[in-house]
Structure formats: C-alpha cells, structure tokens
A and B are shown apart, each in its own frame.
Chain A
C-alpha cells in the first residue's frame, strides 16, 4: 500500500515538473530544422548587419538587412499573406523597441508580395546580461520560421538597471516591467483567500469515511447545517454582486480601454532591387555532386548594362559562397556560414556589356552537408533557389534570384 502511494506520488510530482516546462518560447535555434527548399526559396536574406555586438543593459543595437521574396515560392508552403518579422533569442533578453519594413514603422504582421524586395530595421534594447545568439527571422503563417543570419551579442551590466518606460495615450508614464503586477497579485490573493476559507470551512470537519457512512445510513441531512446554507446563500448573491461591482469600477477607471488590436500593416515592396532587368540569368542545368559536396550551375547570363560584370557570390539559406577573385560587400569573416573560397567559375573573364554567355558556376563546400542543404535531392520538391551577386567594374552590384531543379550525381 505504502509502495503504491509512493509510486503514485512520484508520478504526480513528475507530471508537475514536466508541466512547468510548458512555454515554447526558447525555439532552440531551428536554423536547419526546416526542409532545404523552404529555407532556399522563400525569404532570401542578404546584407544583414548589426550596429554593435557588445553592449550594456539599456543599450540599443540596430539590426538592418534586406530580403527578397522568392518568385518561385514552393507549392507546399502557404503564400506569405500573414508574416511577422521576428527575432530569435532565448526569451526576452532584449526588448524590441522599434521595427521598420521599407522605412515604415511596423508593429503588426504584414503580407509579403512574391518577387518583392524589402529592407528592414529592428532596434533592440538589452534587458539581461549574458551572451546570446540572435537571428532575425520570419514567422510565416502556417509554414513556420525562416531564419536569417545569426550573430553573437555580449551584454554586460546589472539586470536591475533595466528600465522600460512607456507613455500611454492618456498621458501616464508606465513601467512595463511592473505595470499591473501588484493589482493582479492583489486580486488573485483576494479570491484565493476566499476560496481557501470555503475549503477550510469544510475540511475542518471529519471528512470522507464518516460522511460517507452517514450518507449511506440515511443521516445525510446532518451533513449540511443551516449555517452552511446561510453562508452558501451569502456566496450565491454576494460573489456575483461584488464581481459586477468591481467590473463596473474598472470600466469607470479605464474609460478609454480598447480591444486587442488585430489589424495588419500594409507594406509596399521597394522598387526592384533583385532581378532589376540589367542582368538576366537563365539557369540551364544544375547538378549536385554528392561526394564532392559541390553544386554546379550552368547558366546563361545576359548583360544588358553598359559595364562588364563578374560573378562574386552565390547565397542561399544564409550560406554564402564567395568568389575570392571578386571583392564583395558585406563580408563578415567571423561568421561561420561563409565559404570564402567556395565559388569558382569556368572562366575568370568578365562578361562584357551587351554580351550573352553561358557560364559554369561551381559552389563547393562542406557547408552543403553541414547546413543540411544537400537533403533537397531527396525532397518531394528537389529545386534550389538563391541569390547570385554580380559586380561591375565600378563596384555596382546586380542581384539575380535564381531557381532551378537539381540533379544529383552520386559517383
């Protein structure tokens, strides 16, 4: 008997402990969790930068960047009609104070247009000291989270120093960290005290076995006294009256209260930044060589600009394959998902103004495997997408968003 009780108690404690892990807020860095075709052919991030990476509590960091919404959006992924530009972090160690999409302040979700170009700016204020890896990422309704590039941030200082004051529309300055806390706890304590009093009112008498025996032997009328009934009547009328009174007082106290906001922000795409028409890229065939971990793209490139251009980079799913012969912008050597020598061409000659040439571009690096992008050859949608960066002699950049079926080679 004692053993079963102990076992039962143990199980109950386990359940209790398990439950406290309920919040799904940590999101243990799902960079590689999604299928490759979702990471490569939905939100195509580039030029993501941060203003600083060591800061104190209350300091602000600005994350800026751009993204292209792929034209070849996978059929299996719902269209981006409700999306939310978010930041992945281990809980609210930063607070997000501002967010802009295409220069427009935005606090809600927005729809994105396929083939659209966007830039963003997120301002974060450090709340808790520590070392954190942050990524901008997109929550796509019904599809999941598409991660942007990540970066480590070091926050020093005292957690108690954090302040977060906000001004309400009726002119009061409030502290977000404690607003409504004392009032909430007060109400919970009040009702809990009342509930406990009612429980103790019953628990103080002999309970289960005596009451069961009396009920079974027809003495049930003794189990509820007239005083019990009086108190019950008091609760029956007193509690609802009190609740309605408190509710009316709250209404009087906050006459401007509004419902939770459910609107969406309207964000127009920027003028064409990717696929701007000056450089046209048409992929003819793409092979993935499994043992070599190299992707070979054969593409016809038509240069209609008045400068000669060279291919400098291929980027997909936040992995950047760089052509060491061409200096490209936005290089962050500390980042681990860059293959600095990863891109090679069949000919180093630039593509002259007006020329149309078929080139063979090879992106070779173990990152195809370590970032779990090679899995796409076994997907139901074995197509790849990404951004091809081309630079002219003046350093001007042209970006082409490409999309292609991938043929695996196993030998």
Chain B
C-alpha cells in the first residue's frame, strides 16, 4: 500500500491551471500532427520517393537501404525535443504515425482516385515497429549514445522483416511475355505510368549484387551503420530548432 502511494507523482497544477495547461497540450498536439504529416511526408516523398510509392520499386537492395536512413531523420529530431524537455518517449512513433497518415491520404486521393492506380500497387511501407523500438530504447537508456547505436541499428534491421509480410506476396513468380516476372514487376508492366519505366529503378546494381542471396541483409546492415550516424545528426538538428522560450514565459 505504501509502495503504491509513493508511485503517485506530485501534480504541479490543479483546477483552472490544470485545465489551461491541458488545452495547451491539445493545441500543440494538433499543430504537431499537421506539421509532421506535411513536413515529414514531403521529406520522404522527396528522398525515398518512388521506392515508397510503387510496389515494383521495393527491391532487396536499395529499398531497405534508403528507407530507414531517410525515415530516421524526423523521429530523431522530435525525440530530442520531446525527451530532453518533457521526458516523453513517443517522438519516433508520433512522426512515423503522422507520415503514414500523410502517405495513405496521398495514395488514396492522389494515386488511386485521381490517377486510377489500384491501391495495392502503391501500398506504403511501415516503419512503426522500428519506431516503437526506437522510442523504448531511448526511454530505457536515457542516453543519446546508446540510442544512436542500438536504436539506429534496430530501426534499420527491423525494416525489411516488418514489411516482408506486406510485400512478400508480390514477389510470387508469374510467367508473362516469355519471361519470369514477379507480380510486382507485372504491375509495372500492365498499369501504364509514363514517368517511371522499370529501367529507372536503381535495382541490383553495384558491388552488393555480387553477394547474390545476401543482398538484403548486407543492405540492411549498411543502412544500420548509416542510421547510427544519421540519428545523432538529426538529434542535434532537432535540438537546434527546438526552443523552450515559450514555456519559460508561463
């Protein structure tokens, strides 16, 4: 009983003050929601782009390299803000959730309703499992170094296995036009799109190709290494942009 009582945190505000600060919470959350949906979605559309848009771009080499590397950016920045100032371990999950809301809006409206692509051809990838793990690593370690190393690695390595249950079935082979294709490739052939013919995919090039079956794990480890560097970089970017001036006035 006494142990339980000790667990109850002291409340800094009560009554009218509590109500006001709660209203402020909601205001910030709604603004953050719009900001992250817009800005993070733009960032991903510009950097990951076609890899996230089209099922026939989700290859085993570049997709698992580029996606985590570009998607750890905002989560790191927002974690730095929310954890350092408020001890809220939800920056990554918040960012990735917002990104997914933005992606789904774009896929349904821009890709499906206005440009007629079937939604299964333009399913976004998910990074939520990676984001949840990144958040709890930061919370449990309370350390930028530990989160950079272990969080960055986990974020990248979890990407491919999290998405394989969604996209694996698009890699079933089909005989088409006297060739063996994946169903994903067939989407690229059948559903006409002018801007992105298949040769533009940067797939299966370079030295990683030499390792054949191991292309995905090698890409994932490469991405993990880069994520451990990307994470602290964006942590400090987040720190530079964050200001607590507005709180000090209250």
- Interface residues, chain A, with chain B CB atoms under 8 Å away: 5, 8-9, 12-13, 15-16, 19-27, 82-84, 86-99, 104-109, 124, 127-128, 137, 139, 141, 145, 164, 166-170, 172, 174, 176-181, 183-184, 187-188, 191-192, 194-196, 198-199, 202-203, 206-215, 219-220, 222-226, 228-229, 232-233, 235-236, 239-240, 242-244, 246-247, 249-251, 253-254, 256-265
Is there contact, CB below 8 Å, between A141 and B139?
A: no
Known pairs A184-B120, A196-B97, A206-B22; A107 contacts B176 (CB<8 A): yes
Q: Which of A82, A172, A225, A259 has the most CB of B within 10 A?
A: A259
For B126, the chain A residues whose CB sits under 8 A away are: 187-188, 191
B:101-144 near A, CB below 8 Å: 102, 104-106, 109-111, 114-120, 123-124, 126, 128-129, 131-133, 135-137, 139-140
A and B contact pairs by CB, cutoff 8 A, 8 listed: A12-B31, A15-B38, A91-B193, A106-B177, A139-B197, A169-B173, A207-B29, A208-B247
Contacting pair B118 A214 (CB below 8 A) = no
Nearest B residue (CB) for A17: B38
Within 8 A of A (CB), among B160-208: 160-162, 164-187, 189-201, 203-204
- Knowing A92-B117, A192-B97, the reply to whether A86 touches B41 (Cβ < 8 A) is no
Are B18 and A206 closer than 8 Å at their CB atoms? Answer: yes
Contact partners of A187 in chain B: CB under 8 A? 126, 165-166
Contacts of A124 in B (CB 8 A): 192
**Which residues of B sit under 8 angstroms from A251, Cβ to Cβ?**
164, 168
CB nearest neighbor in A for B157? A240
Question: Closest chain B residue to A262 by CB distance?
Answer: B204
Report the tally of A-B residue pairs with Cβ distances under 8 A.
359
A139–B215 Cα distance when bound, in Å, is 28
Binding-face segment, B64-72, B83-91, B222-230, B232-240: B83-91
The CB with the most chain A CB atoms within 10 A, among B29, B45, B199, is that of B199
A240 in contact with B38 (CB, 8 Å): no
Structural contact, B132 and A179, CB atoms closer than 8 A: no
Contacts of A250 in B (CB 8 A): 164-165, 168-169
Does more than half of chain B's interface fall in helix, strand or loop, or is it mixed? Answer: helix
Contact A169 B177 (CB under 8 A): no
Give the top 5 A-B pairs by smallest Cβ distance, nearest first: A222-B9, A247-B161, A27-B194, A84-B197, A257-B171
For A259, give the chain B residue with the smallest CB separation: B60
Q: Kindly list chain B residues whose C-beta atoms are within 8 Å of the C-beta of A109.
A: 197-199
Residues of A within 8 A of B247 (CB): 208-209, 212
| Distance of A76 Cα from B232 Cα, bound (Å) | 44
Cβ contacts B39-62/A at 8 Å (1 or 0 each): 101100100000001001111100
**A residues in contact with B96, CB < 8 Å:** 195
Beyond A89-B192, A105-B178, A211-B88, is A184–B166 a contact (Cβ under 8 Å)? yes
Tell me, in angstroms, the Cα distance from A108 to B137 when the chains sit together. 45
B12 in the interface, Cβ–Cβ < 8 Å? yes
- B178 to chain A minimum Cβ distance, whole angstroms, is 4
The interface residues of chain B lying within 8 Å CB-to-CB of A15 are: 38-39, 42
Q: Do residues A99 and B177 form an inter-chain contact, with CB atoms below 8 A?
A: yes
Contacts of A263 in B (CB 8 A): 179
Known contacts A91-B116, A183-B166, A215-B85: A260-B109 contact under CB 8 Å: no
Contact B193 A212, beta carbon cutoff 8 Å: no
Bound: A239/B129 CA distance, A: 6
Residues of A within 8 Å of B181, CB to CB, are 107, 261
B203 partner residues in chain A, CB cutoff 8 A: 260, 262
The complex places the Cα of A97 from the Cα of B35 at a distance, in Å, of 42
Chain A residues lying within 8 Å of B7, measured Cβ to Cβ, are 225-226
